[in-house]
Structure 1
């Protein structure tokens, strides 16, 4: 296992444009770090610099405190799992998993290779597929083979480059669980690149959000969600995304498109001198007031343009006119987030009990203390609470260490339990190596 440190990493190509610009990250031993952002943000380039497939223009890359900028990929002892699996079609599953061991000629005995392949197959439930060729496997099975090949190398860290993007939604969910379980069980440092914020939120101990090669914020998923540092992070993290509403400042009152909100003294002081701000509201923080749930907040009655009922929840879409002074900023943000420039609308995540329908004037309510208020020029979150953010960071680190300790204890317990002949397949039936 290892720690990985990136110090002021820059990557410039021939035209001088920085694909990665002054990124610094300190990845702890055993940590699961996610690199996330929209297309072209530099996340895959950064990963390829860590593994050695891209040269570093400036800055330092340290593995266990040792500078490795000039080391070849094979000398960094890192295992990479690619988006396209990179399996050899003429080799069986077992031979694909064993390939990196055989490549290190003379370093592993045949018995050792067989033992490592079997251990990886047991972990990933590939026993019954060891004699099959990759062409005869599903996408999820191929991805598990690629993961098995990474496991047998006993590398210092795992690197994943959008490994689930070729799978359908159901398989992606299953493979997320597989990867999370494997990482905890092995306790190995992992860097994982994705453009899918759901993967980032469910897998990562910490998530580094990138925009145009610049690191915006690196924090636990909970901190990113509750205490985003700016408009971009707030808009990227969360599904459905945060609503951004223009608000005129009038003394201690914010005039939103649908309702006026009275500010407390702290918020009024932060927005003093500004004519206009952008208010961020999570869709799930807006409720149907007619359900009678006890919520302290402000009510408003907008006209609902469209609804979507999904069984356990319901979405309502409410269009509004963006103030001309912030329209350009919101359109720029939409482009940065890979949006398609759709018309401005507020999304409300209603309880499934709600009977609101399209065309209705819905009575809605939200708690103003849950609002985020952003500077429309800099994008900074004016309501971010640094003390709460620090508390979340401490809690998240304690939870990470506790999860690793639990995994180690379970691994020690299972290694002391006599092995049964054959593994278990996903349907509970027995399977054994071919």
Structure 2
């Protein structure tokens, strides 16, 4: 039996830099846990039994091959393993669970799909997933017994199941929030007749063969994590995906107003959908998969 357990671990270097802050994490026997975060987040400092970015110097094709080999070898041996990487694709494809770190603070620990589907805060939402999640300022309003989302001048009715996935959402009626939209949940309006839609200016296209990546500009205020979030000293990490560790502080977030010179939304379109650069494209959103965050704390509204 080999188990690795961190209990309220702090690491402060001689120069005063706090590399790890109040970290609590348990790695189960035989588990392949991936510790992921941007460079300088404190993940290497926290290592015990380690693989510290072993694939970072390999070319793309060999990296794909080797990450499968390493994961398969670990499964055969059943060795408790902590694998450190800044590459969220490696983290998602290799780990039984993934621990996301930023600025020495554990943000969320969960299975890869849970991180993708239920990020604990704006940092995790923006870090996990390729392309990164689209995030915008928006408002939620009551529409009879239902809620409706107002974004880019359009009104999107929300199904009642939002109440159990995001039980705090109804408390934010009439208030500004942050919404997160994955690229695969943005569709050409012609493919979803009858759905509410907005107009976006197509600024860039990337043909990927199986799909097209479209970069558009809509009339909405984009929200991004300007710096990595830092937790207060008394914060503790929590593996529950609904609550997680500390979310970005308000000063860690910034907004970018839409303009004709930038794109602020990424969408994945079918490969043969006829699209032309520098033209207006009417798009719609699958509201069943929208994510909702507190505009001040950055935490998911669960």
Q: Using the alignment, how far apart are the partners of 2:86 and 2:46 within structure 1?
A: 14
Q: Encode CA deviations 1:75-121: one digit per residue, 9 max, x unaligned.
A: xxx5xxxxxxxxxxxxxxxxxxxxxxxxxxxxxxxxxxxxxxxxxxx
Q: Give the total of aligned pairs.
A: 264
Q: CA deviation at 1:307?
A: 1.1
1:248/1:254 contact within 8 Å kept: yes
Q: Using the alignment, how far apart are the partners of 2:10 and 2:148 within structure 1?
A: 44
Q: Do the aligned partners of residues 228 and 297 (structure 1) sit closer, same or farther apart at CA in structure 2, a change above 3 Å counting?
A: farther
Residue 14 (structure 1) aligned with residue 18 (structure 2):
no
Backbone CA RMSD of aligned residues: 2.5
Q: Encode CA deviations 1:40-62: one digit per residue, 9 max, x unaligned.
A: 11000101xx2xxxxxxxxxxxx
Listed as ranges, the matches of 1:208-287 within 5 Å are 208-251=99-142, 252-257=147-152, 259-264=154-159, 266=163, 269-272=170-173, 274=175, 276-287=176-187
Q: Using the alignment, how far apart are the partners of 1:310 and 1:269 within structure 2?
A: 39
2:138/2:149 contact within 8 Å kept: yes
Q: CA deviation at 1:304?
A: 1.3
1:148 aligned residue? none
Q: CA deviation at 1:295?
A: 7.9
1:32/1:191 contact within 8 Å kept: yes
Residue 176 (structure 1) aligned with residue 74 (structure 2):
no
SS for the counterpart of 1:305 is strand
Which blocks of at least 5 consecutive residues in structure 2 are unaligned?
Answer: 230-254, 257-261
Structure with the greater relative contact order (CA < 8 A, sep ≥ 6): 1 or 2? 2
1:308 aligned residue? 206
1:245/1:278 contact within 8 Å kept: yes
Relative to the length of structure 2, the TM-score reads 0.80
Q: Using the alignment, how far apart are the partners of 1:220 and 1:174 within structure 2?
A: 22
Q: Do the aligned partners of residues 321 and 273 (structure 1) sit closer, same or farther apart at CA in structure 2, a change above 3 Å counting?
A: closer
1:296/1:367 contact within 8 Å kept: no
Residue 374 (structure 1) aligned with residue 276 (structure 2):
no
Q: CA deviation at 1:260?
A: 2.1
Listed as ranges, the matches of 1:331-342 within 5 Å are 331=224, 333-336=225-228
Relative to the length of structure 1, the TM-score reads 0.57
2:248 aligned residue? none
Q: CA deviation at 1:322?
A: 5.2
Whichever of the two has the greater Rg, that structure is: 1
SS for the counterpart of 2:63 is helix
Q: Using the alignment, how far apart are the partners of 2:34 and 2:116 within structure 1?
A: 15
2:271 aligned residue? 352
Higher-strand-fraction structure:
2
Higher-helix-fraction structure:
1
